[in-house]
Amino acid sequence: MPPLALTAGDPSGIGPEVAIAAWRLRDAHQVPPFYLLSDPELVARRAEAIGQPVKVRTAGAETAAALFADALPVVPLGSRFSDRPGEPDPGNAAGVIQSVDRAVDDVRRLGGSVLAGPYDAPPAFSQAVVADPGGAVLSLSQLKSY
């Protein structure tokens, strides 16, 4: 089974911290392998800032599961993120949207199905509905603007 794709979300929010916590608790809670679509340097800095250092490894969707036991796999995006927790930056919007688009592309490449989207959803969201190769369905949704 391919790993889960975890989209970046707004880097000024708690997305990086949630991913870091999930990876740190992977064994205790049997967290399935996942990768984060984000900026690897931002994730490493945030982990240090919250006192939860983790080994971050740059990965591709195809290599993430093999890295998951020893490092938090992060698939880099073409856009870099500004790292100011609690201070939304409109300059991060392109990377945030790119994370949803990339997750949809990865679903297609790794054998899943895109059931809908990505499409614009009022008032300001980018959304897609996907299914993994086993048929489990989930919705990807991301705020497009600030």
Parent domain of 130: 4-143
pLDDT one-digit tens code per residue, 20-57: 999 999 999 999 999 999 999 999 999 999 999 899 99
Contact in structure between 140 and 104 (CB atoms under 8 Å): yes
CATH of the domain at 65: 3.40.718.10
Q: Where are the alpha helices (DSSP H) in the chain?
A: 15-24, 40-49, 64-67, 93-109
In percent, the amount of the chain with pLDDT more than 90 equals 42
Residue 78, token pair as written in the block:
């073409």
Distance between CA atoms of residues 109 and 105, nearest Å: 6
pLDDT for position 145? 58
Distance between CA atoms of residues 90 and 82, nearest Å: 10
What are phi and psi for residue 12, nearest 5 degrees? Answer: -80, -10
What is the pLDDT averaged over residues 127-146? Answer: 75
Statement: residue 60 has pLDDT above 90:
yes
pLDDT one-digit tens code per residue, 69-92: 999 999 999 877 887 888 888 888
Domain count, the chain: 1
